[in-house]
Amino acid sequence: MDRVLEIVLDVVIPAAPDSKSAKASATGTASRAHADPGPSEQTASLCAALPTLVAQPEARECVTTVAFDRGGVLGGLGWRVAVESHGGTQRVLVSSRRAHTPGVTVVAPIFEAALDANGVARALFDAAPEPFREALGSADDLAASATLVAARSRWQWPRDGIDVLLTFDEDLQEPAAPQEPAARDARGADAAPPPELHELRVSAPWPEGEDERPIVDALFACAGDLVAALPAFVRLTDALDRAGAGSVTGDAEAVKAEAVDLGGAVTAEAALVAIGRNISAQWFGNDAGVRNSTNGEFIHQMRVSQRRLRTAMRIFSRWCDETWEARIEPELKWLGGLLGDARDRDVFVESTLPALAAADVEPGRWDAIRDAANAQRLAARARLREALASQRYARAALAWLQWLDLLARRAHDAGSAGFSLHRHAKRRVRRYYERLASTQKLTAIDEASRHRARINAKYLRYTIEFFATLTSRRTRVEVARALARLQSVLGDGNDAAVALRYLERMDAEPYQLGFARGWCEAVKRYTAKEGERLLRELGEPKVPRGA
């Protein structure tokens, strides 16, 4: 068992509502592939699409993997304890896992042992190194955190002189009891059946002291071929990690933005890598939920991740190279438009229209409009799901992760000789503050100008959040909070303007249009006045010298 670098991709096949596979997935029953690990349609398709594969002798077998944890302690250490059962044998595998760059994982063996009649505890405590025993404490505390069943195939896939191994776990399932009502409700009453999920892991040995860059390049090249040949989508974590977190498909709970850890970065390049890692976690933590769930919070959080990414690249515009401008930025603009339309329609149906109806003396007259708006919202969500299931999105996501990996290499090579982070942060914070502070009175400018002011507030807020560890305490607490409030208030005015545009394109009665115009104008005037007050009270952000 050697240390390896690994990229994980999901192959997602939507399940038909009345299909046997969907029924088996809903009840947790093993599929036909698990009962009969012979050649399958998916395996044949993979071989046909990638004729350079060389099958290993153990071509395909049924594998059950059980992961164990002790109150999150092992996961916190980056350790994985798992028992694999296949071919009538069981082995306990303990490894460490850490992100090399987002999408590329370093998997290093700690130890491996066969299980005997005494089970997991005997193998762990007889074979485990001392630090592991100390962290574990007692075998009695060790509990199963996830179980997955799959039909596994392996191929050798030589690439650019690298011995790449492709592992295909087909028809991944959790052999659990029938889904509880609460779990079904969390997916949504009109949610599609869970998709058939297959996992591809592209890995290669990384010997100690060897340059990892050719290995990573080979893995990305193989992942690119898979994306081109299959409905395959890169993931930051594998299915076992996601099952331990509550959902194999990644739609258990929407992922919000975390605070950025600059990790002692002293150059702007290193800071952009850290920010990219942070944004990737939010982006890829929500994309499967957008595809698989009816919960609009996934759409909202994924849209936030894309807004943060576009702002980050504006702040670090000198690093927008040809690859970014040609292969990534246009695709993210396309994706952002779909996310924005779906999110705006969510707000229209769930917030703005109900408030508009409540302001009318006859709220019932708005029911037909709400039904029509909801139909348009569902259509926007369907367009977004279709986009996220497309090869275009798969290529864009992979291109971003590869670009980020190359940026991390450049930052590493530059060391402390790169562009000063403190100087860069100070200039960007000052630029966006001066741009926002120079805004004319919000009550005296037009709707488009107020929208630009809202965008400038967003730029400044995200800039402060990205560089929070470099700013003064007052800046990252009070100024950031005031900017969030300003952005929210102006956002309410923008939501009213968007709602009016939607209504003007719908089959609304003249009375409704007239009422909506008056109501929306009142909202915009109030939010402009409140925004003006907040802008006058906004303190100047500070990036102290030597921070």
Residues in the chain, how many? 547
495 close to 351: Cβ distance less than 8 angstroms = yes
Residue 349 CB coordination number (10 Å): 22
pLDDT the model gives residue 124: 58
pTM listed for this prediction:
0.90
DSSP 50-99: -TT-EEEEEEEEEEEEEEEESTTHHHHTTEEEEEEEETTEEEEEEEEEEE
The span from the CA of 287 to the CA of 281, in Å, is 10
Please count the CA atoms within 13 angstroms of the CA of 143 that sit on its side-chain side.
7
Q: Which are the contacts of 50, defined by CB distance < 8 A and separation ≥ 6?
A: 157, 225, 226, 229
Give the alpha-carbon dihedral of 527, 529, 530, 531, to 10 degrees.
Answer: 80
H helix and E strand count, the chain: 22, 9
Q: Which two tokens stand for residue 538?
A: 């906004």
How is the chain split into domains, by residue range?
4-252, 269-419, 420-541
Q: Which of 226, 280, 1 is nearest to 113 (CA)?
A: 1
Mean pLDDT by 10 residues, the chain (547 residues): 93 60 40 51 75 67 84 61 84 89 94 69 60 60 83 91 94 68 49 74 96 97 94 94 86 92 92 97 96 94 97 96 96 97 97 94 94 97 96 97 97 89 95 95 91 94 96 95 95 94 94 95 95 95 79
pLDDT the model gives residue 25: 40
pLDDT the model gives residue 197: 87
Residue 211 CB coordination number (10 Å): 8
Give me the CATH code for the 4-252 domain, please: 2.40.320.10
Token pair 């962290």 in the structure block, residue: 135
Q: Which of 300, 266, 265 is nearest to 381 (CA)?
A: 300
The span from the CA of 401 to the CA of 236, in Å, is 10
SS3 174: coil
pLDDT the model gives residue 33: 44
Distances in Å between the alpha carbon of 218 and those of 11, 125, 163, 223, 232?
A: 20, 38, 9, 9, 17
Token pair 């303990």 in the structure block, residue: 94
Angle of helix 480-504 relative to helix 510-537, nearest 10 degrees? 160
pLDDT the model gives residue 135: 59
The span from the CA of 196 to the CA of 52, in Å, is 26
Q: Which are the contacts of 332, defined by CB distance < 8 A and separation ≥ 6?
A: 306, 309, 310, 396, 400
